[in-house]
Amino acid sequence: MNTRSNIIFAFFIAVVLYAAWQVRDALLLIYVSALFAVILSPIIEHIRRIRIGKWRPGRGAAIIILFVGLAVVIALFFTLAVPPIARDLKEFSQEWPQRVQALSEKLHHLPYADRLNINPDTVRQHLSAVVGTLIGGAAGILAGVASGLGKFFTFLILMAYFILDGERAFRWGVSLFPVVHQARLASTLERARNRISRWLLGQLALMMILGVGCLVVFGLMHIRYFYVLAVIAGIANFVPMIGPIVTVVLASAVAGIDSFAKVVGVVVFYAVYQQTESAFLTPRIMKSTVDLPGSAVLVALAIGGQVAGLVGAFVAVPTAALAAVLIDEYLVKKPARSESA
């Protein structure tokens, strides 16, 4: 009888794991939404402390205020940043033939350029082909962004739901466990929630450091739109791996409008900064906020990126903080206190 029960239980677990694997994308979306609901809950609570006369916002109003505030900030940024960029892009498109001609003349002055048989028309054709490829790639990126908007809005709706009804969902989840373990589990998860909430502070610190660094360095290099690039770099740093790549490509493209030396300067700055952030800033800042060793942060980022790509790296550190609290509570063998202590 015991053997048959074990077989049935093992079969049931296998079916559950198979079903979970089939809907892994949806489960990942739910998990990320719940995780960010935990991360943003302190901000929501701070908004709820606002008092206008006798009125204080509830959770729903606080969520709306947060979303509207973010939308206003984004709209102001684009309002201030887009017009000068659009104006310069128009001028650049008009000056394109002259710039290609100047580039080909510079190539002719390079050492051994006469042996390369550089033809200005060939250079112009290749550069035009590159521009066409970039435009086509941009179209593909826009298509990908459009297809991802549905998931993004689903994420926002789920996150709002978890913020609004998170306490009841938390109590329901804890109630699924045996009664004798519920109090310990609830206390452990509360500690994990406090630890995860501090992750946002560490991430914001990293974003601020990169943004200010880009503002200073790009400003000293007299790169166009350095203030816009600094803001984009800081925001994009929220996205592991992809964010730094996108910003260095964008900054290099803008710097290339003026000179190749500025492109080299941008690449060198990003190379030095990324090494500094990966080896020094991220481990120490995350250790001080989520109380994880630097090696654990790096391992979590590597495993998260391998398991779930960009999203996995995105939530790797807060997930590691959750796992660390659970492991410390249930797996780590702590020495028993002596009676005299």
Give me the pLDDT at residue 307, please: 79
Give me the pLDDT at residue 164, please: 86
Residue 134 CA, chain-centre distance (Å), reads 24
Q: What is the DSSP letter of 247?
A: H
* pLDDT surpassing 80 at residue 56: yes
Angle at 128 between CA 230 and CA 78, to 5 degrees: 30
In a domain, 4, yes or no: no
Q: Do 235 and 320 share a domain, yes or no?
A: yes
- Each residue of 188-213: b (16+ CB within 10 Å) or e? bbeebbebbbbbbebbeebbebbbeb
In a domain, 13, yes or no: no
* pLDDT surpassing 50 at residue 132: yes
Q: How far apart are the C-alpha atoms of 277 and 206, rounded to whole Å? A: 8
Residue where a domain stops, chosen among 124, 151, 176: 176
Give me the pLDDT at residue 98, please: 65
Give me the pLDDT at residue 332, please: 75
In a domain, 258, yes or no: yes
* pLDDT surpassing 70 at residue 101: no
In a domain, 280, yes or no: yes
Residue where a domain stops, chosen among 123, 145, 176: 176
Give me the pLDDT at residue 131, please: 54
Q: Do 278 and 148 share a domain, yes or no?
A: no
Q: How confident is the model at residue 130 (pLDDT cuts 50, 70, 90)?
A: low
Q: Do the beta carbons of residue 304 and residue 323 sit within 8 Å?
A: no
Give me the pLDDT at residue 319, please: 87
Give me the pLDDT at residue 18, please: 86
Q: What is the DSSP letter of 52?
A: B
Q: Do 232 and 123 share a domain, yes or no?
A: no
Selection from 222, 254, 259, 251 nearest residue 234 by Cα: 251
Q: Do 172 and 256 share a domain, yes or no?
A: no
Q: Do 145 and 189 share a domain, yes or no?
A: no
Give me the pLDDT at residue 103, please: 58
* pLDDT surpassing 80 at residue 90: no
> Tell me, what amino acid is at 241?
M
Looking at the chain, the whole-number percentage of residues with pLDDT higher than 90 is 3
How do residues 266-296 score in pLDDT, each as one tens digit?
A: 999 988 988 888 778 877 787 777 777 767 7
Q: Do 166 and 190 share a domain, yes or no?
A: no
**Number of domain units in the chain:** 2
* pLDDT surpassing 70 at residue 57: yes
| Across 41-45, 56-60, 61-65, 130-134, least confident range | 130-134
Q: How far apart are the C-alpha atoms of 211 and 172, rounded to whole Å? A: 42
Q: Do 84 and 37 share a domain, yes or no?
A: yes
3-state secondary structure of 55: strand
Q: How confident is the model at residue 340 (pLDDT cuts 50, 70, 90)?
A: very low
In a domain, 60, yes or no: yes
Q: Do 142 and 69 share a domain, yes or no?
A: yes
CB-CB neighbours of 168 under 10 Å: 9
In a domain, 78, yes or no: yes
Selection from 277, 271, 276, 252 nearest residue 262 by Cα: 252
In a domain, 298, yes or no: yes
Q: How far apart are the C-alpha atoms of 209 and 240, rounded to whole Å? A: 15
Q: Do 132 and 61 share a domain, yes or no?
A: yes
* pLDDT surpassing 70 at residue 128: no
Selection from 269, 300, 302, 272 nearest residue 286 by Cα: 300
Selection from 190, 164, 171 nearest residue 33 by Cα: 164
Q: How far apart are the C-alpha atoms of 59 and 54, rounded to whole Å? A: 16
Residue where a domain stops, chosen among 110, 143, 176: 176
Q: How confident is the model at residue 138 (pLDDT cuts 50, 70, 90)?
A: very low
* pLDDT surpassing 80 at residue 110: no
CB-CB neighbours of 341 under 10 Å: 5
Q: How far apart are the C-alpha atoms of 106 and 226, rounded to whole Å? A: 26
Q: Do the beta carbons of residue 290 and residue 10 sit within 8 Å?
A: no
> Tell me, what amino acid is at 104?
S
Q: Do 136 and 214 share a domain, yes or no?
A: no
Supply the pTM of this predicted model.
Answer: 0.67
* pLDDT surpassing 60 at residue 144: no
Q: Do 133 and 202 share a domain, yes or no?
A: no
Angle at 208 between CA 203 and CA 212, to 5 degrees: 155
Q: Do the beta carbons of residue 246 and residue 236 sit within 8 Å?
A: yes
In a domain, 160, yes or no: yes
Q: Do 162 and 214 share a domain, yes or no?
A: no
* Average pLDDT over the chain, rounded to an integer: 78
Q: How confident is the model at residue 124 (pLDDT cuts 50, 70, 90)?
A: low
Q: Which residues is 52 bridged to in the sheet?
A: 55
Q: How far apart are the C-alpha atoms of 142 and 271, rounded to whole Å? A: 28
3-class SS string, 161-178: HHHHHHHHHHHHHHHCCC
Looking at the chain, the whole-number percentage of residues with pLDDT higher than 70 is 77
3-class SS string, 206-238: HHHHHHHHHHHHHHHCCCCCHHHHHHHHHHHCC
Q: How far apart are the C-alpha atoms of 228 and 216, rounded to whole Å? A: 12
* pLDDT surpassing 50 at residue 261: yes
State the residue range of the domain holding 67: 23-176
